[in-house]
Structure 1
Amino acid sequence: MSTTDFDTLPPTLRDAARAALADVIGAAPVDAVAPVSGGMTAARLFRIDAGGHQYLLRLEGTVSPLQRLGFEPLESPLRNPHQYVSLRIAAEAGIAPRLHYVNEASRVVVMDFVRRQPLSTYPGGLPALTRALGELLARLQETPTFPYFVRYPDMVGRLWAHVGRTGLFAPGVLDRYSEHFERIRAAYVWDDAHSVSSHNDSIPPNILFDGARLWMVDWESAYRNDPLADIAIVSGSIARTPELEQILLRAWLGGAPDDALRARLKLVRALTRLFYAGVVLSASATTQRTAPDTDVAAPALAELEHALRSGRLKRGTPVFYHVCGKVLLAAFLSDGLGPGFDLSV
């Protein structure tokens, strides 16, 4: 292995990576090492070619204050202490790629590398993709239940409170969103005893199509949750029409949804939109602003897409995250279309 491949890693993480590879491949030579884009994850990802096999080496990044929000104890080295347990369960069920090595102490994982094909190439198009996702989430929810971590509305609330403390917006500008969140929290009723295994970040970048089937990756946020959490995220990012939502729900349920479930889905989808608004607005707060924003007006989706195509707006920048946060806030209030959640590439 070239010594330059891991030169940017802290020494302890570099040693842990080499120990993981030695455990998996032994003395076999490494033929190639290539960095892999990881979306918004803080993890460092590398594709390792060795012995005629391709592996994904995943190294957890530095935990930021944002990643610690809502998690106890604060000195924990993980933003979610149950992610590796959840990953093991998902891999054993064939929902996550096969695991070869997990070290929770060093935060290093080696798994099969899955070569990503565009979701747009899924045979049968969006209807077939949506049906397959509903079936995949049903399989996930049938696994042994992931450990408990935190109630989803509390997670959303703590993240939203963090956004309010960043100074991104002038005092009072976010009040109507906070008030709407409190109304939703009051209307949201859930018995935690009926929680199920949940990925909790089932956005398009975390769904892999290998040309034959779907996989779910990036289990950093996985823990037991409301069964509608992943469904709400998929309905807001992929199944974004009434027809596709119906396909998703029928594939997940194995039958037709009733009005009560649809009403709950609307509540949970609002929570997921506020959560992702909090994530991207927190990302936009990483740069210094001259003054707090007094305007939360969001561009239409067509305008946002045109700005991206023309280069006036570039993905992955603080300005991009700030604009997407506003679009998600508008969708949070209206239950209209948001930008999807492919916000990282």
Structure 2
Amino acid sequence: MIPETKKTAVDHALLTTFGTTDLEEIHELTAGLSSALVFRIVVGGKPYLLRIITRTDAMADPTLEYNCMQAAAEAGIAPKVWYTHVEDRLAIIDFIEAKPFPMEEAKTKLPHLLKRLHSLPSFPFRINYLDKIGEFIEKFRTDKLMPEDMTAELFDFYIRVKSIYPRNAEDMVGCHNDLKPENTLFDGKRVWLVDWEAAFLNDRYLDLSIMANFLVKNEDDEKIYLDTYFGHEATEYQHARFFLMRQILHLFYFVVFTIVGKTPDKPIDLGMIVPDFREFHDRIWTGKLSLADMDNRLQYAQVHREQLQHNLGLKRLDEALRIVANY
């Protein structure tokens, strides 16, 4: 189950951490989109999680990942870290037995948790998120994944929002950047954030927007969500900036999930039935739908395209652009 090339490193990790290489149980965990190998292991009657990084590209930085994870663990946001080894690219942490996370409870706990995360000492800078979206858009266009007339308005919005969206230092904080349900584990009492592969210094409103896809269903939800996070009544500017980042995130998910969901032997079905945005995210939240499935990824891309397309016609968009530009 553990690759031959990693067995020596895993044995060393086990011996260093537990004084034994004997595993009472080992099961590979396949949920999620990460390329890392993840195992639930049992040593001395206690479960742990063994994670082996397999990526070797520039974005797979074990030093950054482990440092961010350790900082979060020390703050009680991530599970306890028992072992990390940068060269071997593996870590052992506490295993969290996840339980169903009631939505109403999540709406209270998660903004508080995000505030604690964003109050940690800053994570290292890795990429500029807005600029990176531009690179994905260029790849999307180069690969001619969809007709220009279906994407022109969306990509015009990117140019418009990028020109006014602030990059102020006070809103650049340590972000997780991948707060999907399988990385947000509820043990029945507390919430734990796992998989710190994508963590780096980023705009606080991105983490807020990712979670909002699942938690914020209307204006009342948005008010409670932002007021809870900021610890006071959110300002007009904060609501406007949050709204703009949500649209930027819709664009990002549309572009990226179209790129990663497209397979050479299967053209994109431009007439596919696009599920309701809220229903789709509710199914992800409850574990009834997985984005590991390529068809689901393409549907997910179109869910975000349609949501962004709808929101571009709202009066609130122009108001948000004006408020943020004039701040």
| TM-score range relative to shorter protein | 0.7 to 0.9
> Which residue matches 2:188?
211
CA distance in 2, matches of 1:231, 1:17: 36
Question: What is the DSSP-based 3-state SS (H/G/I as helix, E as strand, rest coil) of the residue aligned with 1:119?
Answer: coil
Q: 1:52-201 counterparts in 2 under 5 A?
A: 52-63=45-56, 76=58, 78=60, 82-120=64-102, 126-192=103-169, 194-201=171-178
Q: CA deviation at 1:274?
A: 1.9
Q: How many residues align?
A: 308
Distance of aligned partners of 1:287 and 1:80 in 2 relative to their CA distance in 1, 3 Å threshold: farther
Deviations 1:270-321 (Å, cap 9, x if unpaired)?
Answer: 122222223321221234235x66558744448869x99xxxx986332221
Retained in 1: the 8 A contact 2:154–2:309?
Answer: yes
AA partner of residue 40 (structure 2): R
Q: Is the 8 A contact 1:87 1:219 kept in 2?
A: yes
2:31 is equivalent to residue 19 of structure 1: no
1:38/1:44 contact within 8 Å kept: no
Give distance in 2, aligned partners of 1:279 and 1:84.
25
Q: CA RMSD in A?
A: 2.8
Find the aligned partners of 1:259 and 1:239 in 2 and give their Cα distance. Answer: 17
How far the C-alpha of 1:187 sits from its partner, in A, is: 2.4
Question: Does residue 325 in structure 1 map to residue 301 in structure 2?
Answer: yes
Specify whether residues 276 and 315 from structure 1 end up closer, same or farther in structure 2 by C-alpha distance, changes over 3 A only. closer
- Quick check: which one's helix share is greater? 2
Deviates more, 1:85-94 or 1:239-248: 239-248
Q: Secondary structure at the match of 2:107?
A: helix
The alignment's TM-score, normalised by the length of structure 2, stands at: 0.84
| CA pair 315-203 structure 1, distance change in 2 beyond 3 A | closer
* Aligned position for 1:39: 32
Structure 1 residue 132: Cα displacement: 0.7
Runs of 4+ aligned structure 1 residues displaced above 4 Å come to 292-297, 301-305
Q: Secondary structure at the match of 1:252?
A: helix
Flag structure 2 segments of 5+ consecutive residues without an equivalent: 313-327
Percent identity at matched positions?
Answer: 27
The one-character-per-residue Cα deviations of 1:101-122 (angstroms, maximum 9, x if unpaired) are 11122210100000111113xx
C-alpha distance 269-23 of structure 1, shift in aligned 2 (>3 A) = same
Of stretches 230-239 and 156-165 in structure 1, the one that deviates more from structure 2 is 156-165
- For the Cα contact (< 8 Å) 1:99–1:110, is it kept in 2? yes
